[in-house]
Chain A
Amino acid sequence: MVVEEFRSFSDWLLTEGALLTFVFVAAFCAVTGLLLGFLVSSFRHGPGEAFYAVSQTVFQAVPDAFGMKFRRIWAIGRLAMKENFRLFLVTLIIFVTSLAVAGWFIGGGGKYPERSYVSFLFFAAQILISIFAVLVSAFSLPNDILSKTIYTVVTKPVRASEVVLGRFVGFAVLGTVLLTFVGALSYVFMVRGINHTHELSEEITADKWLPIVDGFTPDGRRPFDPRAVFESTVLTTRNNDHVHRIAIVVLDDGTFDVVADETAGHTHSVEVVETDPETQRPKVVSFGPPRGNLRARQPIYSTPRGDLPALSLTDENGALNNGVNVGEIWDYHKYIQGGTQATATFRFSGITPQRFANTDSVNVDLNLAVFRTHIGDLRRRIEAEIELRNVVDVAETETAQVKSVKIPFETEEFKVQTLTIPRKLKNGTIRTVGQPDQVNQEFDFFEDIVPNGELDLVVRCIDQKQYLGVARASIYFHAGDSSFGWNYLRGFLGIWAQMLAIIALSVALSTFLKGPVVLIGSVGVIVFGYSAKFILFVADSVIGGDRLADVWGGGPTEALYRLVTQMNLQHPLPIGLGSDIIEFVDAKVLLPGMKSLSFAVPRFENFNLANYLAYGYAIDNHMLMINLTTAFAFAVGMLIIGYFCFKTREIAAA
């Protein structure tokens, strides 16, 4: 999976300034709210009265906050749920209907159908829940105020905070129940969609088992399993838009087994039903359910060690550099040159036996990229090696023993390639300063290579003039797999967090705006949140003055001008006062404002954690914590704003 950002919750909260931003935004809102309240009140009652009114409102907030009773909140919440139960059912029906036709679009084809399923289902759930959250909370309070049914509530001994919070709780519970249904239905839909089995398309007669000669089948294929001795020309039946090959492999103990290849992101267990009495090779086999497509790998990524980065590269002479650019638009992978001293060093910490499900061997997963400068031997993949090396204390460099083991392998691009490293390592080398190397050593991985949990993993490309692309997430230790169902649930937690944020936003807006305006406002904020990254990018480019280098078309005013006049993006604005005004408004007014606002709105796209599930990785706890904290912080802020707006509103004036 492509991981472009490695964020820890504490770093996000403290180092990246999330907490500071929250405090700043909260303080800004508080001061602005007070000033605004004072101004409005001043117009109505004069400055003296206004001061008392504002003070009263602020001080009343204390008992309103601490005097809330759950019973009253729940009563209002229940009312909100009852009011919107019909919408709940309609949304559920829409979702079920969309699932019914979704199969037309998703299908089982492609290399990894589970990715299509997860992406679609999470996207559909996210959109549907967002719409539901906005609709349910945008019209409720304004309609009550409009139809004056709010009197039946406010005339009761109920606090304003309870009215606002009660509605939030009601909508949140309703949304949570809906999300539970949606999650459960989509999980069943996905599992049913992906689940399948195969049969043999025909019996495998003796002549259909092709021997593997010199590492290839007679029709020029590399066998899908390096242990294969025979591969069948008979394939499975085509189910879910794919077929599997099968092969006879020799196991470590010398016995034979029949295995199916990995196609469409999974394989199947194979059971021999009938054997050819003459050749003793399988004639009829049966297949089990799919394996390996719905998983949740637990990766241990490299981490910075002191001043040293998590991943560092050296050039062909062994000097530190940033890797070679092979001309790709996307500069995610940094390339090292093959057949030279160029290396990529990944620094790992916390590699302890307790973190691994199986300690007899450890798995290292690779997601490497390859770039060929010449065709070379097309039948061979690019060769590389990893070197596992213990980390010695800098103070003891002179005396310490550096133990290392090299493991060569053939690269496999665009798929997760697993290298299984046995705990007992052979052909190791011990290097001590001033002494000859001791070779052919045997090591225990945990005791000799990672005694302190730290390890350097060095990657080299062996083939000359070929390049190997690495990124920090390209190599990790695969500690084990957690439950996919649990992972799926955690994925929906992200959507749930988003739902809470949207409900809080709409409830807050509905305390002082009319229903349709709330709807537009909420959708506007959501779109703004989704586009925050882009807005920041445009703002930084335009405000920085170097916009032509990064973004075509300028800020919003310039974009509007170009749209209306149908002016090409590359064409410079005409020289004149009009253009100066446009550029001034964009660079000095609108974009700085939008940039500031983007810090106050959650990045809604981050709530979708489908990528983790689609690519088979356990959702990062830090990411989940960040999402939940963001949503709660935003919801709390919105509810406080909502409370004050509702408190200061003259209900009877509506």
Chain B
Amino acid sequence: MNFAPSHYRKAIYGILAAILLLPISFLARPNQVSKDPTMAGEATGGTISQMRSKHNLSQASLSSIDPTSEVMKLASLGLHGIAVNVLWNQANQFQEKKAFDKVSSTVDTLILLQPNFVSVWEFQGHNLAYNISREFDDYQDRYFWVKEGLNFFTKGIAFNKRDHRIFDNLGLHTGLKLGGSDEKKQFRQMLRKDREYVDTFVSKFINPDRFDKPEAGGFDSWMLSYWWYDKSYHMRENLGVPKRTSDLMYWVKGPQQLRQYAEALSVDFRPGEATQKAWRTAYEAWTDRDRVGERQGFGKRDIMTSFGIEIRLEDLERELERQRAISRRMDELVPGVREELYQQRVAKLSPDDQRILKMPADQRQFKDIGEMVRIEAMLLIYEYEIAERASPENRVAAQNLLRELADGEFRRNQMDSYRYTVNYNYWRDFTNMESTVPAVLARQAAYEAAELDRQGILESFEEQVTDENGVTTTVKRDGSIDALWRYFQHTSEAVKPFPGLHDGESTFIEDLMVDFTKFGGHLRDVGREWPDDFPMQWFIDERVRRYGRANIKNLMTTEDIEARKRERGLLEEQTEQPEQTKPAEQTDQAVQADQSGQGDQ
């Protein structure tokens, strides 16, 4: 046979290719399942396999291998990057043209090409649950699309077994969309009895009994979102899945859902024992121990800060106490210096500042409180000032204390800052307060007031009730005003032990202000004036004292009420002595008094 040069060339190529196969097969040799028990779990394949295994890069370590997805990738002949771009474009165009069913099917195809890219799941799941659902006018259609979004996320679980973000998103979207949107009432109502959805899409991952709450009338969206977060926590705690978000914002989610659940129970139903228990559970999960998921509470959780130290939010008070103890030890080492320095600084204050300083704290008014911030800054004594004045034999010890204090200060600042980020103190006090009996009674009264408002019953009324023996009795029924009165009485009792709750600005205070205004409005509607013995008058006065008159808008203070009483007394006196005042002036004064009374209300 006569071989042409091209045949030789091809033969050489073939031999070279075969030779090259040897190192490739050596490097890329797949993992073998070792029969030796001592080798279990160790990568035994080629170098590339070992590296894949070490860095969790192999498909099998990311998820189970889905034949559809693999076929899609193979069918695109290595051009799946371009195919992905085309599909993203198509999905966007379909969405612009409101062909939402096509968006859904395009996204289903798209995701097969990039199943391990969690951001795509996050983006498109959110897109379905939020952007597309809101395009529909009918809340039932919106509910359908929210579930489409949630189902989309659940499809992503199998593809991303070592990424907790899918579960985080399920928790986020179940909680916020079903429980926090405009249609939350309808969504939550429909979910309560949506056994088909739960059995088909959720029960594979979460036992439905866990969020089927008799006190909530069925499946509860907030409890469901809690259990999605629980799945994520399980991955982090037990499977060693790497974290993808900051500790603080990650661990806060579970307790947040429990709090939202308690809040929803309080609003959707007449609060009772179950509500109180839910608030207590939320409080405990926020601080000490999450008794639903049986894990550490948020406050006790080790949280890695961005400065690389681990803190626990609940340790702040202990840290403060520790610092105070160090300060006391400093005072023992350098006795009398702190007091001496303080007195020197007080002496330097202006007479006006000294007056404010000497004033009892609860008597300081709005402007004084502002001034006190400045005065306190002027009086601040740094520990190094004391340490510097330590005797030579105590100087080393004082310096050591200073270092301890500096470390503590750093930790305290971190705790403070992290607490502030999640509004830790407020929610701790709020959940604690809500789990008390007066708070539950207050919630009950608020619920009744809302019901009576809906019926338009403002004042109490009498009703003839005939019992089973045919005896008719007259029963006094409360109106909305009476229910609100009880609400304020109980709230006053509940909130007093928690100074943090009547301080600053919060939704709780905003809601209270709205309720005060509503109460005043109801009184005006029935021709009554602001009562002299309003149960939360102390609260209003406190707000005025601390934040000024503008903070309470048109509400009446004790001072206003007393002024009104004085005016009344004056009028009565004038009525007794009509001859001393001209009739025209008397009428003017009466009108003015009426107007001022109305205006204040």
Contacts and interface: CB of A to CB of B under 8 A. Distances in A.
B190 interface: yes
A116 B105 CA distance: 7
Interface in B122-168: 135-141, 144
A220 interface: yes
Chain A, interface SS category: loop
B137 A105 contact: no
Contacts of A219: 189-190, 192-194
A110 B144 CA distance: 10
Interface string A73-101: 00000000000000000000000000001
B287 interface: no
Given A2-B97, A220-B190, A411-B137, A104 B105 contact: no
Interface residues of B, number: 36
B196 A412 contact: no
A69 to B, nearest CB: 46
Given A219-B189, A379-B139, A381-B137, A330 B97 contact: yes
B102 A414 contact: no
B196 A110 contact: no
Contacts of B183: 378
A382 B182 CA distance: 17
Contact of A105 (B101, B112, B193, B200): B112
B98 interface: yes
Nearest to B138: A381
Interface footprint category on A: 35 or more
Contacts of B101: 110-112, 115-116
A238 B71 contact: no
A233 B100 CA distance: 28
A233 B192 CA distance: 12
B97 A332 contact: yes
B425 interface: no
Contact of A101 (B71, B105, B200): B71
Given A119-B102, A330-B96, A330-B98, A379 B137 contact: no
A372 interface: yes
Contacts of A107: 108
A220 B105 contact: no
Contact of B105 (A110, A221, A378, A381): A110
A563 to B, nearest CB: 14
Nearest to A2: B97
A214 B513 CA distance: 35
A378 B109 contact: no
A241 B114 CA distance: 23
Interface in A526-578: none
Contacts of B135: 413-414
Contacts of B68: 104-105
B186 interface: yes
Contacts of A105: 68, 72, 108-109, 112
A378 B185 CA distance: 10
B183, B190, B193: most-surrounded residue (chain A CB, <10 A): B193
A413 B190 contact: no
A291 B186 CA distance: 30
Interface in A281-330: 329-330
A373 B108 CA distance: 32
A227 interface: no
Given A104-B71, A233-B193, A378 B96 contact: no
B276 interface: no
B323 interface: no
B97 A413 contact: no
A364 interface: no
Contacts of A221: 140, 190
Contact of A412 (B99, B112, B138, B194): B138
B257 interface: no
Interface in B79-97: 96-97
Interface in A366-409: 369-370, 372, 375, 378-379, 381-382
Contacts of A201: 196
Contacts of A369: 98
A414 B136 contact: yes
A222 interface: yes
A287 to B, nearest CB: 16
A243 interface: yes
A336 to B, nearest CB: 15
Nearest to B109: A105
Contacts of A104: 67-68, 71
Interface string A351-372: 0000000000000000001101
Nearest to B68: A104
B49 interface: no
Nearest to A4: B97
A235 interface: yes
B186 A379 contact: yes
B225 interface: no
A372 B137 contact: yes
B140 A222 contact: yes
A329 B102 contact: no
B431 interface: no
Contacts of B196: 201, 235, 238, 243
Contact of A370 (B109, B137, B193, B195): B137
A414 B100 contact: yes
B104 interface: yes
Nearest to B194: A219
A2 B71 CA distance: 33
Contacts of B97: 2, 330, 332
Contacts of A332: 97
A319 B298 CA distance: 63
Contacts of A375: 182
13 contacts: A2-B97, A106-B105, A111-B101, A116-B105, A119-B102, A119-B105, A201-B196, A219-B194, A220-B189, A381-B137, A413-B136, A413-B137, A413-B141
Interface of B: 67-68, 71-72, 96-102, 104-105, 108-109, 112, 135-141, 144, 182-183, 185-186, 189-190, 192-196, 200
Given A104-B68, A219-B190, A330-B96, 4 more contacts: A220-B186, A411-B137, A413-B137, A414-B136
